């Protein structure tokens, strides 16, 4: 196909040449060209290979609906599947064709076309079932799946995007003639209006076709310029260009993506797309219509294109892709292409219409006659033929005779559809129009207004009255626009979905979905195999499941199916239109919420000290906690944890516990509230004492634990687990508001206000005495599970004597700002006693030796306090607390519940692992009855062997017996089931 430039064009700057590379070869286009128009200008028609059969494909359309011309933009992070028909070229752009090897001209994969009779609908479903598992790995995955596809995924992350929120009264989608007229009505009104258009220039069909000859007795272009100026001058209207609305959510919430670098290379580090999130009172859809194609043999050959697209290339891009295209139509929409061609001094090679002579518009007849264009009425194209491009077509004329016409370009028009995608996303209902043969918007579900062809008004005769009527509620001034047309025809269409091929052959293909290589034969086969519901048929054949969502073909498929099933199209229904309207990149959705901004990082006030002292961090919720400290770079995690644990048992260790959740509870009824929230009873507890407490869900399962300090009956401070802090506060607030609103109680998180240091080990008392000389730390003055308020160097501190390691321990609570100073002081005075920091891993090891549980590790939401052997913590005399009644449910009093036990290997040198199953037999003979699993497992430097905590069925009664721990890879290990305490069972070290 040989193209010619039409230099009388306002959009293409013919004086500004731009060079770009396609598959490594340098070409020239002009400023304003899309990749597609530039390629057509260089007479390149073959631009890609198809998804399944690797058939040669060309440029089919001139817009967002493009199914074929998808390319990889090498110069932009190798962005794949870019529509060549909308992406503008810029100097130095590098483009590659997709799904071909070794080259586009000679593609090895095109051999698939030979085997195509077996690659029919449901091929994957049927083939990938068997015959053997190995086929998947060795044949299907590497060979067959690799052969199918589109572009290659990019290696790098695409550039940055940002998000902008809008809150407006009215959003007009589409800046064509209806959109502009709607916007014009709102000029200088009290409404905030957003006008969104996908193109760089507003105007729609005024720019894309020669349909309109004058508006208000002016040249359309002049009228357009004036109108845009008026709208731009209006203070209440904002225009977003290069912006595509992709999503229409509930409550008029729209999502639109704006390309910030149209026609230029995105600058690294700059925002290259903006995601607009729009909340609007009313949405006015003026997003126009999309032309559909027709199915006949080889309707996918390069050189075949939609007729309105051909016209758009002429009007919008100053380019006639061919000097003498053949036109094949079943409707009046292609009239204006004939007009445009003749106006440009060109002539269609032939005009073929499936309608009879009487139905064809008289003025089209005149035009065709006057210019001696061969006319075939009542005729159909039986097929197109050629090698990698269209060379000839076969036309069956009204007499049934076959005519061969040589041509290099064929323009198709199968009718037009309102672009109902957004309307149906908004949950509006469609209705089939039997006259215009298309689905049209009928009942909106939201405050949605449709105007122009988007509403199914394909003629212009009601333009004024339609807009005036639909915008009546806004009480804006009425329009009275005079519109003259070049082809004053009423939209007229004859039903035609598919022309059957001349010769029956297994290899004859009439495509219904170009992008996914679905043929009309596949549709027939699917129906034969029972997939006659349209949603099933779509998934089975993959029809309209490509990135183009079958924009030019899905209605044709409905037509064919309705004929096959002998049903009305309305009864067949449509598949659901889901967002997005067109693909948008993940980086646009992510916006700035990526990398370090993905989730907040929370750091303790001592974080910088940890950094300087070799801390390796672990993530606990959003917190960064020291996992262990390396004394040198070669120290392994195991060595560090063993060293830290041993040091706590022999000398003393210090842990940064600032991340523990801290909640302050105050109020007249605080005591009663705490009694209701936790299992324990706090009534008899002395002021200044502390208690380990459990919180349950209403189902009786352990949800959180912590230490409760009672300052008075009206004032408590509770600690929570690091990860559970927000949930516990949320739960307290919920019950305070919803169940016990009569209680006078308030609660607040003080997690970040206080740093917490946990010091423990036999030498702790000496260190504390030295660090806080004004405080008496004797066992009599400061017994276990009590706390005291003090002042140290003017800083108010609270010290709690408690321990999570089993050693003598103190927790110091310090206002965060003063914490680093006191931490440093403790480090320096502790040096002579061998004080060393320890991380969360050593803490886990030490607490496990004592059998202290970690909620979420040793429990999983199905464990009650009784299962943990913590019945002593339940305030049985209390009338009520969260989950109390559930502790006597039939399920919670079951005997064979999983219960917490200790596990040690029978042979002390054997290793255990977290997650291992506990079973009764040494030999694994499936099915193996599983008793439970190991929840925590460590090597103890104090005991000198592995030990573990586990939850196993009926565990408490199994203590003292033997079992096996197993994993499929390690075999079985003999274990002893013991009490879940491995160290200082009498708590002597804790309390003395």
Partner 1 sequence: MLIINCPYCGPRDQSEFSNGGEAHVKRPDGSKEIGDREWGEYVFIRANPKGLFYERWVHTHGCRKWFNCVRDTSTDEILVTYKLDEKKPNLNNFKSVVKTPSGEPEVGSGNFTVEK
Task: Tally the C-alpha atoms within 13 A of residue 519's C-alpha that lie toward its C-beta.
Answer: 27
Stretch that binds partner 1, among 439-447, 538-546, 593-601, 947-955 (CB under 8 A): 439-447
279 binds partner 1 (CB under 8 A): yes
599 binds partner 1 (CB under 8 A): no
Stretch that binds partner 1, among 230-238, 374-382, 427-435, 894-902 (CB under 8 A): 427-435
781 binds partner 1 (CB under 8 A): no
Residue whose CB is less far from partner 1, 614 or 697: 697
- Interface residue with partner 1 among 128, 140, 577, 833 (CB under 8 A) is 577
Q: Which helix (H) or strand (E) holds 709?
A: strand 702-712
Residue whose CB is less far from partner 1, 699 or 976: 699
Site map for partner 1, 837-876, x if CB under 8 A? ----------------------------------------
920 binds partner 1 (CB under 8 A): no
Cα(808)–Cα(978) distance, integer angstroms? 25
Cβ-based neighbours of 363, under 8 Å, separated by 6 or more: 335, 487, 488, 489
886 binds partner 1 (CB under 8 A): yes
User: Left, alpha or beta for 794 (phi > 0: left; psi -120 to 50: alpha)?
Assistant: left
Cβ-based neighbours of 49, under 8 Å, separated by 6 or more: 55, 56, 57, 97, 98, 99, 100, 104, 107, 109, 110
Minimal distance, residue 442 CB to partner 1, in Å: 5
Of 692-721, binders to partner 1 (CB under 8 A) are 698-699
Minimal distance, residue 554 CB to partner 1, in Å: 12
Stretch that binds partner 1, among 78-86, 247-255, 290-298, 397-405 (CB under 8 A): 247-255
Stretch that binds partner 1, among 40-48, 223-231, 437-445, 645-653 (CB under 8 A): 437-445
Query: Taking the CB of residue 39, how many other CB atoms lie within 10 A of it?
Result: 27
Minimal distance, residue 913 CB to partner 1, in Å: 35
Residue 378 near residue 291 (C-beta atoms within 8 A): no
- Interface residue with partner 1 among 142, 730, 783, 974 (CB under 8 A) is 730
Cα(818)–Cα(17) distance, integer angstroms? 67
885 binds partner 1 (CB under 8 A): yes
251 binds partner 1 (CB under 8 A): yes
DSSP line for 911-977: ---TTPEEES-SS--SSPPP-EEEEEEEEETTTTEEEEEEEEETHHHHTT-EEEEEETTTEEEEEEE
567 binds partner 1 (CB under 8 A): no
Stretch that binds partner 1, among 287-295, 355-363, 594-602, 737-745 (CB under 8 A): 737-745
Residue whose CB is less far from partner 1, 376 or 439: 439
Query: Taking the CB of residue 417, how many other CB atoms lie within 10 A of it?
Result: 23
Query: Taking the CB of residue 519, how many other CB atoms lie within 10 A of it?
Result: 25
Cβ-based neighbours of 701, under 8 Å, separated by 6 or more: 859, 861, 862, 863, 864, 883, 886
Of 253-272, binders to partner 1 (CB under 8 A) are 253
Residue whose CB is less far from partner 1, 198 or 881: 881
Site map for partner 1, 8-47, x if CB under 8 A? ----------------------------------------
DSSP state of 107: B
Cα(502)–Cα(524) distance, integer angstroms? 18
Cβ-based neighbours of 588, under 8 Å, separated by 6 or more: 161, 257, 273, 275
Cβ-based neighbours of 359, under 8 Å, separated by 6 or more: 492, 494
Minimal distance, residue 428 CB to partner 1, in Å: 8
Please give the structure tokens belonging to residue 694. Answer: 């459990």
431 binds partner 1 (CB under 8 A): yes
- Interface residue with partner 1 among 733, 910, 914, 984 (CB under 8 A) is 733
Instruction: Give the residue among 617, 625, 627, 707 at the shortest CA–CA distance from 662.
Output: 707
Task: Tally the C-alpha atoms within 13 A of residue 637's C-alpha that lie toward its C-beta.
Answer: 12
Residue whose CB is less far from partner 1, 443 or 962: 443
Stretch that binds partner 1, among 348-356, 401-409, 726-734, 794-802 (CB under 8 A): 726-734
Cα(159)–Cα(592) distance, integer angstroms? 11
- Interface residue with partner 1 among 424, 450, 681, 936 (CB under 8 A) is 424
Stretch that binds partner 1, among 431-439, 608-616, 772-780, 855-863 (CB under 8 A): 431-439
- Interface residue with partner 1 among 884, 898, 933, 989 (CB under 8 A) is 884
CA 762 to chain centre: 53
976 binds partner 1 (CB under 8 A): no
Cα(770)–Cα(166) distance, integer angstroms? 61
Residue whose CB is less far from partner 1, 434 or 535: 535
Residue whose CB is less far from partner 1, 201 or 446: 446
Cα(83)–Cα(58) distance, integer angstroms? 12
235 binds partner 1 (CB under 8 A): no
Residue whose CB is less far from partner 1, 752 or 824: 752
Residue whose CB is less far from partner 1, 890 or 909: 890
678 binds partner 1 (CB under 8 A): no
- Interface residue with partner 1 among 132, 879, 925, 988 (CB under 8 A) is 879
573 binds partner 1 (CB under 8 A): yes
Residue whose CB is less far from partner 1, 741 or 986: 741
Residue whose CB is less far from partner 1, 97 or 675: 675
Residue whose CB is less far from partner 1, 424 or 722: 424
Angle CA 225–229–232, to nearest 5: 140
DSSP helix/strand/coil, 874: coil
Instruction: Give the residue among 729, 852, 755 at the shortest CA–CA distance from 811.
Output: 755
164 binds partner 1 (CB under 8 A): no
Residues 526-552 as b or e (16 or more Cβ within 10 Å = b): bbeeebebbeebbebbbbbbbbbbbbb
600 binds partner 1 (CB under 8 A): no
Minimal distance, residue 578 CB to partner 1, in Å: 11
- Interface residue with partner 1 among 111, 506, 576, 594 (CB under 8 A) is 576
Q: Is the Cα dihedral 801, 804, 806, 808 positive or negative? A: negative
Residue whose CB is less far from partner 1, 222 or 571: 571
739 binds partner 1 (CB under 8 A): yes
Q: How many residues of this chain interact with partner 1, rule: CB under 8 A?
A: 38
Angle CA 925–928–929, to nearest 5: 150
Residue whose CB is less far from partner 1, 738 or 969: 738
Of 511-540, binders to partner 1 (CB under 8 A) are 535
432 binds partner 1 (CB under 8 A): yes
Cβ-based neighbours of 279, under 8 Å, separated by 6 or more: 165, 166, 167, 168, 251, 252, 253, 254
- Interface residue with partner 1 among 13, 42, 570, 954 (CB under 8 A) is 570
Residue 948 near residue 934 (C-beta atoms within 8 A): yes
User: Left, alpha or beta for 238 (phi > 0: left; psi -120 to 50: alpha)?
Assistant: beta
**Residue 434: φ, ψ to 5°:** -70, -25
737 binds partner 1 (CB under 8 A): yes
- Interface residue with partner 1 among 200, 226, 880, 921 (CB under 8 A) is 880
Interacting residues with partner 1 (CB under 8 A): 249-251, 253, 279, 424, 427, 429-432, 439, 442-443, 445, 535, 570, 573-574, 576-577, 698-699, 730, 733-734, 737-739, 741, 879-881, 884-886, 889-890
């Amino acid at each position: 196909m040989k193209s010619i430039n039409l230099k009388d064009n306002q959009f293409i700057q013919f004086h500004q040449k731009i060079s770009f590379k396609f598959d490594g070869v340098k070409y020239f286009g002009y400023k304003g060209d899309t990749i597609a128009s530039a390629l057509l200008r260089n007479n390149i028609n073959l631009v890609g290979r198809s998804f399944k059969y690797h058939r040669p494909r060309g440029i089919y359309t001139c817009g967002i609906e493009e199914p074929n011309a998808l390319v990889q933009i090498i110069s932009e992070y190798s962005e794949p599947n870019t529509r060549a028909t909308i992406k503008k070229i810029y100097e130095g752009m590098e483009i590659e064709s997709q799904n071909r090897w070794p080259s586009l001209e000679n593609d090895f994969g095109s051999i698939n076309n030979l085997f195509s009779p077996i690659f029919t609908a449901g091929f994957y479903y049927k083939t990938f079932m068997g015959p053997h598992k190995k086929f998947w790995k060795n044949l299907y995955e590497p060979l067959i799946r690799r052969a199918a596809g589109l572009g290659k995924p990019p290696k790098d992350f695409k550039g940055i995007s940002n998000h902008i929120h809008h809150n407006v009264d009215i959003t007009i989608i589409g800046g064509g003639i209806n959109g502009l007229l709607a916007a014009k009505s709102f000029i200088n009104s009290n409404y905030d209006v957003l006008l969104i258009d996908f193109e760089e220039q507003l105007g729609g069909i005024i720019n894309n076709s020669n349909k309109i000859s004058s508006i208000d007795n002016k040249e359309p272009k002049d009228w357009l310029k004036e109108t845009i100026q008026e709208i731009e001058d209006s203070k209440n209207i904002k225009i977003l260009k290069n912006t595509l609305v992709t999503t229409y959510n509930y409550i008029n919430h729209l999502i639109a993506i704006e390309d910030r670098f149209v026609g230029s290379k995105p600058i690294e580090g700059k925002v290259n797309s903006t995601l607009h999130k729009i909340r609007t009172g009313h949405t006015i859809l003026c997003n126009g219509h999309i032309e559909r194609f027709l199915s006949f043999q080889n309707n996918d050959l390069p050189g075949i294109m939609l007729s309105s697209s051909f016209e758009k290339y002429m009007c919008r891009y100053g380019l006639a892709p061919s000097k003498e295209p053949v036109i094949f139509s079943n409707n009046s929409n292609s009239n204006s292409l004939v007009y445009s061609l003749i106006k440009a001094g060109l002539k269609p090679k032939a005009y073929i219409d499936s309608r009879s002579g009487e139905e064809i518009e008289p003025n089209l007849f005149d035009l065709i006659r006057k210019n001696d264009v061969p006319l075939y009425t009542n005729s159909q194209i039986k097929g197109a033929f050629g090698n990698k491009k269209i060379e000839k077509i076969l036309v069956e004329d009204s007499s049934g005779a076959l005519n061969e016409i040589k041509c290099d370009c064929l323009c198709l028009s199968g009718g037009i559809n309102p672009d109902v995608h957004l309307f149906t996303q908004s949950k509006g209902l469609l209705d089939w129009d039997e006259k215009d043969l298309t689905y049209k918007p009928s009942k909106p579900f939201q405050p949605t207004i449709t105007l122009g062809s988007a509403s199914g008004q394909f003629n212009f005769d009601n333009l004024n009255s339609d807009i005036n009527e639909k915008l009546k509620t806004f009480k804006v001034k009425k329009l009275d626009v005079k519109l003259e047309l070049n082809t004053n025809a009423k939209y007229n269409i004859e039903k035609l979905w598919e022309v059957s091929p001349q010769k029956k052959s297994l290899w004859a293909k009439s495509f219904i979905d170009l992008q996914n290589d679905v043929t009309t034969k596949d549709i027939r086969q699917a129906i034969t195999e029972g997939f006659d519901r349209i949603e099933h048929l779509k998934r089975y054949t993959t029809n309209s499941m490509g990135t183009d969502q079958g924009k030019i073909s899905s209605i044709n498929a409905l037509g064919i199916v309705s004929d096959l099933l002998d049903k009305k199209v309305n009864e067949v229904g449509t598949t659901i239109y889901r967002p997005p309207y067109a693909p948008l990149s993940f980086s646009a959705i992510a916006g700035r919420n990526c990398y370090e901004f993905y989730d907040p990082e929370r750091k303790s006030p001592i974080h910088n000290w940890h950094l300087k002292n070799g801390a390796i961090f672990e993530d606990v919720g959003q917190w960064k906690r020291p996992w262990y400290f390396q004394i040198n770079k070669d120290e392994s995690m195991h060595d560090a944890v063993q060293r830290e644990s041993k040091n706590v048992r022999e000398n003393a260790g210090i842990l940064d516990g600032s991340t523990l959740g801290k909640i302050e509870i105050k109020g007249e009824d605080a005591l009663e509230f705490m009694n209701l929230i936790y299992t324990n009873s706090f009534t008899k507890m002395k002021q200044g004492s502390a208690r380990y407490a459990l919180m349950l869900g209403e189902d009786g399962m352990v949800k959180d634990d912590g230490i409760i300090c009672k300052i008075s009956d009206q004032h408590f401070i509770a600690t929570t687990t690091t990860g559970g802090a927000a949930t516990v506060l949320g739960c307290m607030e919920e019950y305070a508001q919803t169940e016990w609103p009569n209680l006078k109680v308030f609660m607040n998180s003080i997690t970040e206000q206080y740093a917490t240091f946990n010091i423990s080990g036999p030498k702790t008392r000496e260190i504390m005495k030295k660090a806080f000389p004004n405080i008496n730390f004797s066992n009599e003055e400061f017994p276990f599970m009590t706390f005291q308020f003090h002042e140290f160097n003017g800083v108010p501190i609270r010290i709690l004597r408690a321990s999570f390691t089993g050693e003598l321990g103190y927790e110091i609570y310090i206002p965060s700002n003063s914490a680093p100073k006191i931490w440093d002081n403790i480090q320096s005075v502790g040096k002579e006693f061998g004080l060393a920091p320890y991380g969360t891993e050593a803490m886990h090891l030490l607490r496990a030796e004592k059998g202290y549980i970690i909620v979420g590790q040793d429990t999983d939401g199905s464990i009650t306090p009784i299962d943990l052997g913590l019945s002593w913590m339940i305030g049985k005399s209390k009338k009520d607390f969260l989950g109390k009644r559930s502790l006597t449910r039939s399920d919670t009093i079951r005997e064979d519940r999983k219960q917490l036990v200790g596990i040690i290997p029978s042979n002390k040198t054997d290793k255990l692992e977290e997650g291992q199953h506990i079973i009764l037999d040494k030999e694994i003979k499936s099915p193996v009855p599983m008793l439970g699993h190991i929840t925590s497992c460590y090597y103890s430097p104090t005991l000198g062997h592995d030990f573990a905590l586990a939850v196993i069925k009926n565990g408490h009664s199994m203590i003292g017996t033997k079992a096996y721990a197993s994993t499929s890879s390690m075999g079985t290990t003999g274990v002893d089931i013991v009490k879940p305490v491995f160290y200082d069972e009498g708590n002597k070290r804790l309390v003395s």
